[in-house]
Amino acid sequence: DAKTTQPPSMDCAEGRAANLPCNHSTISGNEYVYWYRQIHSQGPQYIIHGLKNNETNEMASLIITEDRKSSTLILPHATLRDTAVYYCIANNAGNMLTFGGGTRLMVKP
Amino acid sequence: NAGVTQTPKFQVLKTGQSMTLQCAQDMNHNSMYWYRQDPGMGLRLIYYSASEGTTDKGEVPNGYNVSRLNKREFSLRLESAAPSQTSVYFCASTRDSIQAFFGQGTRLTVV
């Protein structure tokens, strides 16, 4: 797995976009970028993944830089229920998933 | 569709006791994982099973054994529990290691 670096914590105002950065400067060409989140003490929840192109689903958007060395997860209109720890993982499909420290996002009213 | 089911949800053990944490998935996934999460920390991989009958060690396998007896079930055994194994244990499954589904966790306290 490529090493990922995320800020330990971030704040966001409710209703605003939350932009969570992730550095993965050693990512290889066939490694995907995955995002998961963990709300309170529940099991982690898959959010989105991408290889080269930007991706969007009902939960979030994933923007990957052209050189693939970093990415940003965007929650377009953050709600209080989006308060969670967000994990960025860079990994080959088919390999075991390993989690780093993540970013603790606090959405404030 | 139950997804990933872990039993028990809570357990208290005395030091030296043994127990097995059970995990079952109904999504016909090939890969299954066991993680532990200590308070305020991220998840650490204990063991991984890519398919029925195969297992591999993760980051923190010492003190644990696993069994993947069939495609649905992946169990984690503590042979002689220690206070350092107090943690929340999560089981996960995935078809292709892209989208993993997690259980709700087993909260284990070893006294």
Adjacent-strand bridge partners of B31? B94
At A27, list the tokens.
């990512």
pLDDT in tens, B25-34: 999 999 999 9
Would the pLDDT of A73 be above 70? yes
Q: What percent of chain B has pLDDT over 70?
A: 98
**C-alpha distance from residue B97 to each of A68, A70, A93, B28 (Å):** 20, 21, 6, 13
Q: What percent of chain A has pLDDT over 70?
A: 97
Interfacial residues of A (vs B; Cβ cutoff 8 Å):
32, 34, 36, 41-46, 49, 85, 87, 91-102
* Reduced 3-state DSSP string for B41-74: CCEEEEEEECCCCCCEECCCCCCEEEECCCCCEC
Helix, strand, coil % in chain B, rounded to nearest 5: 5, 50, 45
B27 reaches A (C-beta below 8 A):
no
**Which residues of B fall within a CB distance of 8 Å from A93?**
96-98
CA–CA dist A23, A84 (Å, integer): 19
Out of B44, B99, B105, whose CB is closest to A43? B105
